[in-house]
A and B are shown apart, each in its own frame.
Chain A
């Protein structure tokens, strides 16, 4: 697959605060790539650097395998944080400015306003719009010129549930059309619903990166207890049956290795003269997995 964005050793600090540190990412054509992390993890800083708003301290990035330049940015549709337009201009005039910057025809304005469901408000001033409309206008502006890559930073930030659904729908439509999407969000559910690849950031460092299905699958976990939980934990820790053993409310919480079933655990305990009197199989939520991943480091 063709490389769209390559980030190598990117670092940025604001005075004494480290925003991102030695970040490496590769994003290929057609991917819906999520950058997931709690607030302050460096998502916006990363996207601000690759869209030319701020400069990195160290490292480099390449768009389409080339040195970054202003011309490339005209072929990328971006929305970084809240959209900022001229408050005294109408939506149409604001988009005309973007068309002039990108060098695209004004004829495209109608199409993007239609996609963003803003056609009826095209004569309204930007200052008179609701937050949701402003956000949709930001996405409409990003879509001008039909760019192959969309870079969206927290596109649903501050929106009500209806607004979130509307924006999400627009973004999913774009992904279905085959556009490469780079989406930064702190909402796991959003990334899970829209993206196929994800990079998880915390304190400016990359914790994990890969396909969503691999990184954020719902692990099966089992809850067990026996006469001597401490001994069972010790035995399980030294076995190859489990990925992880935790204690919680007098129970052992096991994350099983692949191809290991609860019956195998039962047999293992029995062979160690331990009788299991409680066993419950359940799925661990994505949310808890994400929180654990972020907490662990």
Chain B
């Protein structure tokens, strides 16, 4: 395992597109965080900086940074398809890696990047929470940290989809386009077509994004105003419902397992020329 990690480390850290995409990921991540306090100044009645306080910061940051996982999936697509175009999968097999190890190698990259993304969200949330919170107890600070577990699963799932697409298509540009088309076009269109049916919540990307859902803003503002009367959410109907949380997690794990299974089957069958 260590040996596979070392190999991936050499490949990734010296690969310019990886470094550039990762740098862009940081830039977008930082912009995402900086943009909200800016909005705050434009809307004086609703203070968005409330969202930067414990315990809501965990949910809020997980929600706003969730789309950036797509960039990590793009990295996985690039590094995997490059193995085909450089014929380096073949070289690694010749020198003694099994096909299972080739897949394991990529899955390790997925795990490392997922951990990295989760750690980044976790540490940033912690830092912002410490800066913005005025009521600071350990219990309040740690209240919503469970979302990081879901964020980890979401990041892993995103990259698993990327990995499967890369192994299936093999061509970098086509794989990137396919992934982006699925994420940006196919999923929303299908969601719209199926809007009247419950099945719309079972769409793969939908289940993944629902792992880190939009925070319950009403509850947050209610809490802030110390209102005893709860606003009728059903009347407002501004928050999408979706599947129950447990079923959503089960579906994502099921989809991810299928992605890995099909990736395994593909890796076993691929002819390395």
A→B interface (CB under 8 Å): 51-54, 69-74, 78-80, 83-89, 93, 96-98, 100-103, 141
Collect the chain A residues with CB atoms within 8 Å of residue B272's CB: 53-54
Instruction: Output the nearest chain A residue to B268 by Cβ-Cβ distance.
Output: A55
In the bound assembly, the distance between CA atoms of A223 and B41 in angstroms comes to: 105
Q: Give which listed residue, A51, A52, A84, contacts B88 with CB less than 8 A.
A: A84
Collect the chain B residues with CB atoms within 8 Å of residue A53's CB: 90, 93-94, 271-272
Q: Is B234 an interface residue (CB 8 A)?
A: no
Q: Give which listed residue, B7, B15, B86, B94, contacts A100 with CB less than 8 A.
A: B7
In the bound assembly, the distance between CA atoms of A180 and B272 in angstroms comes to: 26
Instruction: For the complex formed, measure the closest distance between the CB of B147 and the CB atoms of chain A, giving whole angstroms.
Output: 36
In the bound assembly, the distance between CA atoms of A69 and B94 in angstroms comes to: 11
Instruction: Output the nearest chain A residue to B272 by Cβ-Cβ distance.
Output: A53
| Residue in A84, A85, A96, A141 whose Cβ sees the most chain B Cβ within 10 Å | A84
Instruction: Check if B86 sits within 8 Å of A101, measured CB to CB.
Output: no
Q: Give which listed residue, B6, B88, B98, B101, contacts A86 with CB less than 8 A.
A: B88
In the bound assembly, the distance between CA atoms of A80 and B95 in angstroms comes to: 11
Collect the chain B residues with CB atoms within 8 Å of residue A97's CB: 7, 10-11, 92
Collect the chain A residues with CB atoms within 8 Å of residue B190's CB: none
Q: Is B16 an interface residue (CB 8 A)?
A: yes
Instruction: For the complex formed, measure the closest distance between the CB of A91 and the CB atoms of chain B, giving whole angstroms.
Output: 13
Instruction: Check if B86 sits within 8 Å of A86, measured CB to CB.
Output: yes
Instruction: Check if A93 sits within 8 Å of B10, measured CB to CB.
Output: yes
In the bound assembly, the distance between CA atoms of A103 and B98 in angstroms comes to: 14
Instruction: Check if A101 sits within 8 Å of B10, measured CB to CB.
Output: no
Q: Is B96 an interface residue (CB 8 A)?
A: yes
Q: Within B1-20, which residues are at the interface with A (CB < 8 Å)?
A: 3, 6-7, 10-11, 14-16
In the bound assembly, the distance between CA atoms of A79 and B95 in angstroms comes to: 9
Collect the chain A residues with CB atoms within 8 Å of residue B11's CB: 86, 89, 97
Q: Give which listed residue, B3, B14, B90, B271, contacts A101 with CB less than 8 A.
A: B3
Instruction: Check if A73 sits within 8 Å of B3, measured CB to CB.
Output: no
Collect the chain B residues with CB atoms within 8 Å of residue A71's CB: 96
| Residue in A85, A93, A97 whose Cβ sees the most chain B Cβ within 10 Å | A97
Q: Is B223 an interface residue (CB 8 A)?
A: no
Instruction: For the complex formed, measure the closest distance between the CB of B267 and the CB atoms of chain A, giving whole angstroms.
Output: 13
Instruction: Output the nearest chain B residue to A89 by Cβ-Cβ distance.
Output: B14
Instruction: For the complex formed, measure the closest distance between the CB of B220 and the CB atoms of chain A, giving whole angstroms.
Output: 47
A101-B97 contact in complex given A53-B272, A86-B88, A96-B10, C-beta closer than 8 Å: yes
Q: Is B87 an interface residue (CB 8 A)?
A: yes
Q: Is B144 an interface residue (CB 8 A)?
A: no
| Residue in A52, A80, A98 whose Cβ sees the most chain B Cβ within 10 Å | A52
Collect the chain A residues with CB atoms within 8 Å of residue B94's CB: 51-53, 73, 78-80
In the bound assembly, the distance between CA atoms of A103 and B94 in angstroms comes to: 14
Q: Is B137 an interface residue (CB 8 A)?
A: no
Instruction: Check if A54 sits within 8 Å of B88, measured CB to CB.
Output: no
Q: Is B257 an interface residue (CB 8 A)?
A: no
| Residue in B87, B88, B91 whose Cβ sees the most chain A Cβ within 10 Å | B91
In the bound assembly, the distance between CA atoms of A113 and B3 in angstroms comes to: 22
25 contacts between A and B (CB under 8 A): A53-B93, A53-B94, A53-B272, A72-B96, A73-B94, A74-B95, A78-B95, A83-B91, A84-B86, A84-B87, A85-B88, A85-B91, A86-B11, A86-B86, A86-B88, A88-B15, A89-B11, A89-B14, A93-B14, A97-B10, A100-B3, A100-B6, A100-B7, A100-B10, A141-B95
In the bound assembly, the distance between CA atoms of A102 and B90 in angstroms comes to: 15
Collect the chain A residues with CB atoms within 8 Å of residue B14's CB: 86, 88-89, 93
In the bound assembly, the distance between CA atoms of A78 and B3 in angstroms comes to: 20
Instruction: Output the nearest chain A residue to B96 by Cβ-Cβ distance.
Output: A74
Instruction: Check if B96 sits within 8 Å of A70, measured CB to CB.
Output: yes
Instruction: Check if B93 sits within 8 Å of A102, measured CB to CB.
Output: no
Instruction: For the complex formed, measure the closest distance between the CB of A159 and the CB atoms of chain B, giving whole angstroms.
Output: 19
In the bound assembly, the distance between CA atoms of A33 and B10 in angstroms comes to: 36
Collect the chain B residues with CB atoms within 8 Å of residue A52's CB: 93-94
Instruction: Output the nearest chain A residue to B101 by Cβ-Cβ distance.
Output: A70
Instruction: Output the nearest chain B residue to A127 by Cβ-Cβ distance.
Output: B86
Collect the chain A residues with CB atoms within 8 Å of residue B93's CB: 51-53, 70, 73
Instruction: Check if B97 sits within 8 Å of A70, measured CB to CB.
Output: yes
Q: Give which listed residue, A51, A84, A89, contacts B10 with CB less than 8 A.
A: A89
* Closest 3 pairs (CB-CB, A-B): A74-B96, A84-B87, A70-B98
